[in-house]
Amino acid sequence: MGDFNNIGKLYRVIKRSKPDTIKRRNGKIIGVSSALFKDEKGVSVDQKKERTETETIDELKNFFDKRSKGIVSLLESDVTDTEAVLIPKPSVYSPYHAEIHKSHKEILLDDVQALQLADSCNFVFLDENVQWTK
């Protein structure tokens, strides 16, 4: 039996914006828009790897500080299910940083990939009190 805690998990930050990419219905949060996965520079995520989920979330919250409104998680298998690719891109800020690309040759996800990934997300952190600023 494998270690389910180490199943490849990814985290995507929802930055404060007005409007944001959080879907709400009748005052209840129901998910995220596929717009969260449409980024011309590549969709940035953090890989959990050997960290606990709490450590991963805390490190992201510390890095993004007031710019972060929420964090969603999804699995690496969710990425491969859409035929997208996960490109590890460690940076000076995070050795766990990676990007989701459409393929090894193209960065921009197609619209169906973005929707599937959004549908796969689960909220792991949300602060509705984070203020949007110019």
Partner 1 sequence: MLLLDYQPEIYPTGRRTIQMEYEKADRSYLEFEIGQEKIKVLKVPKRQYKNARQHEILVSNYKALSKIVNEFIGGIDEWETSTTLASYIA
* Residues in contact with partner 1 by the rule CB under 8 A: 17, 19-21, 23, 33-36, 38-41, 108, 111-112, 115-116, 119
C-beta closer to partner 1: residue 39 or 53 = 39
The CB-of-115 to partner 1 minimum distance in angstroms stands at 7
In terms of Cβ atoms closer than 10 Å to its own Cβ (0-12, 13-18, 19+), residue 46 is buried
C-beta closer to partner 1: residue 7 or 112 = 112
Q: Are strands 97-101 and 68-75 parallel, antiparallel or unpaired?
A: unpaired
Q: Write the CA distances from 116 to 33, 34, 65, integer angstroms.
A: 10, 8, 28
The CB-of-35 to partner 1 minimum distance in angstroms stands at 4
C-beta closer to partner 1: residue 38 or 51 = 38
The CB-of-59 to partner 1 minimum distance in angstroms stands at 22
Distance between CA atoms of residues 68 and 131, nearest Å: 10
Distance between CA atoms of residues 21 and 5, nearest Å: 28
Q: Is 66 helix (H, G, I), strand (E, B) or coil?
A: helix
C-beta closer to partner 1: residue 35 or 85 = 35
The CB-of-113 to partner 1 minimum distance in angstroms stands at 9
